[in-house]
Homo-oligomer: A and B are copies of this chain.
Amino acid sequence: MLDQVEETGPEQEEPEAYTLGKRDVAAILYAVEIDDREKLVELMEPLHAADIADLLEQISAFERARLIRLYDLEFDGEILSELDEAIRDEVIALLTPEVLQEAMRELDSDDVVDILEDLEDAQQATIMGALDEGDRAAVQQAMSYPEYSAGRLMQREVVMAPEHWTVGAAIDHLRKTPEAELPDQFYHIIIVDPRLHPVGNVTLGKLMRSKRETKLTALFEETFKVFSATQVEGDVAYAFNQYHLISAPVVDEDGRLIGVITIDDAMAVLDEEHEEDILRLAGVGESSLSDRVIETTKQRLPWLAVNLATAIAASMVISQFEVALAQIVALAVLMPIVASMGGNAGTQSLTVAVRALATKDLTGSNVWRVIRRECLVGLINGTIFAIVMGIVGIIWFGSPALGGVIAVAMVINMVVAGLAGTGIPIVLERVGVDPALASGAFVTTVTDVVGFFAFLGLAAAVLL
């Protein structure tokens, strides 16, 4: 044990030690190259399963196959848990039935479920076949809850005690329970009433420090939240973050305790949701660095197609002003500036609005104040840049009228950007569409169309 600790000690000195260094990867790949199993196992031994998963994600498919074949029985179930979905099925296909069986047996039921839900039917069947009778039933039960629900996220191993128990009774019970029936790690005891409804929780710290005759009900934590199995995991993660929960019970439709969710699961969900939001805002959808070219191409295509439609719509607006454009070439030179500024201002407003909706900071109570603020910000920034562009227009093209036109168009487009950037995500959220996914296309359509229309329309009216 002490050796292990000595190894951990120096690690803190260099933050980079959390991730695999380039040299570690090279050494491991060299061991694979020369088929030196002993060396490979030795190099992999100090690595956490999460690091091994990172390693597998970073190397090429060819190297991955060779490494896994050489590593063979050392392959741990935890690695599968940590692996990116994009290559998980590829890795599972590489494992021999014995290795897969052994790997799955080591895992808690919630981890098995997490792996299973992203696989195709054939692979699901293989894994189900590898499980013990009891585990299989537990996994099937969990899989009966909707995807992304608390029921899938929870672990079924629960530490509970009836509400009439004392501290002494709870401790004795805990000491008598066989290791296998307890979760790997637990921090609370959930107290239940006779109908198995959770009524409170007690931290192990309080339990340990209290007199044996103290009633458990006297030690309840102040903050206590119960989740139903069908609740979406995003809401669960939000509540963990909002109320600083460490663990929380999950109940079935009758309110009976059936599992527990811990903060590390919630943290993983929060992390995934954030990732999704960022990628959706950029029109990438579900994506991973391990995806192959064809998958990546397919993921990005829809958003680009939407953008093409948007861009063509904007072009149609431009084509209405061909006469003006033919007479004054400067319009063609300047028009992208108005559209681009509006697009950027709109993206700023929309990102703030999408985030505020996700964190539940933007609610019915402050929606009008926020919209008004965004329009005002657009007005002020629009005016500032209108002045700048007006001057640029005058100096560049020597035409005060042209400068005036671009200035007015800029103000209009940036106020519209603030309005659309805030209003569109709010409306989408109300009608049940994910604002992170869809707002961008709508907002840039609005700012492009309004930008071109305002600038060219004003120019046609004033300058021709």
B283 close to A15 (CB less than 8 A)? no
A319 close to B333 (CB less than 8 A)? yes
Q: Tell me the bound Cα distance from A274 to B8 in angstroms.
A: 28
A19 close to B251 (CB less than 8 A)? no
A205 close to B182 (CB less than 8 A)? yes
Query: Is A118 in contact with chain B by the CB < 8 A criterion?
Result: no
Query: Is A348 in contact with chain B by the CB < 8 A criterion?
Result: yes
With A243-B48, A293-B376 in contact, is A204–B231 under 8 Å at CB?
Answer: no
Choose from B1, B26, B337, B377 the contact partner of A220 (Cβ within 8 Å).
B1
Choose from B19, B279, B301 the contact partner of A351 (Cβ within 8 Å).
B279
Within 8 A of B (CB), among A1-36: 1-2, 4-5, 8-9, 11-13, 15, 18-20, 22, 25-26
Within 8 A of B (CB), among A322-378: 322, 325-326, 329, 331-337, 339-341, 344-345, 347-348, 350-352, 355-356, 359-366, 369-370, 373, 376-377
Give a binary string over A277-306; 1 marks a CB under 8 Å from any B CB, 0 the rest. Answer: 111011110010100110011001101110
Query: Is A217 in contact with chain B by the CB < 8 A criterion?
Result: yes
B199 close to A2 (CB less than 8 A)? yes
Contacts of A117 in B (CB 8 A): none
Query: Is A156 in contact with chain B by the CB < 8 A criterion?
Result: no
Choose from B365, B385, B389, B448 the contact partner of A59 (Cβ within 8 Å).
B365
How many chain A residues have a CB neighbour from B under 8 Å?
Answer: 145
Residue of B nearest to A271 (CB): B241
B326 close to A20 (CB less than 8 A)? no
Q: Tell me the bound Cα distance from A377 to B384 in angstroms.
A: 39
With A54-B361, A185-B203, A200-B1 in contact, is A329–B333 under 8 Å at CB?
Answer: no
A360 close to B225 (CB less than 8 A)? no
A224 close to B5 (CB less than 8 A)? yes
Contacts of A175 in B (CB 8 A): 208-209
Residue of B nearest to A248 (CB): B12
Q: Which of A65-73, A91-99, A261-269 lines the interface with chain B?
A: A261-269
Query: Is A137 in contact with chain B by the CB < 8 A criterion?
Result: no
Choose from B4, B187, B199, B300 the contact partner of A204 (Cβ within 8 Å).
B187
Give a binary string over A242-280; 1 marks a CB under 8 Å from any B CB, 0 the rest. Answer: 111010000100010000000110111011001101110
Query: Is A141 in contact with chain B by the CB < 8 A criterion?
Result: no
With A300-B348, A344-B304, A385-B308 in contact, is A174–B209 under 8 Å at CB?
Answer: yes
B205 close to A207 (CB less than 8 A)? no
B293 close to A19 (CB less than 8 A)? no
Query: Is A380 in contact with chain B by the CB < 8 A criterion?
Result: yes
Q: Tell me the bound Cα distance from A59 to B361 in angstroms.
A: 11
Query: Is A57 in contact with chain B by the CB < 8 A criterion?
Result: yes
Residue of B nearest to A410 (CB): B308
Choose from B187, B334, B336 the contact partner of A187 (Cβ within 8 Å).
B187
Listed from nearest, the 7 A-B pairs whose CB atoms lie closest are A282-B351, A332-B332, A204-B204, A274-B274, A22-B364, A311-B337, A311-B340
Sample of 13 A–B contacts (CB below 8 Å): A2-B199, A11-B225, A18-B238, A58-B363, A174-B205, A204-B208, A266-B267, A282-B348, A289-B362, A300-B345, A304-B348, A311-B337, A336-B339
Given pairs A5-B224, A278-B278, A303-B348, 17 additional interface contacts (CB within 8 A)? A8-B225, A9-B226, A13-B228, A58-B361, A58-B366, A185-B246, A204-B204, A240-B267, A246-B264, A270-B270, A275-B355, A279-B351, A282-B347, A304-B348, A311-B336, A325-B329, A325-B333
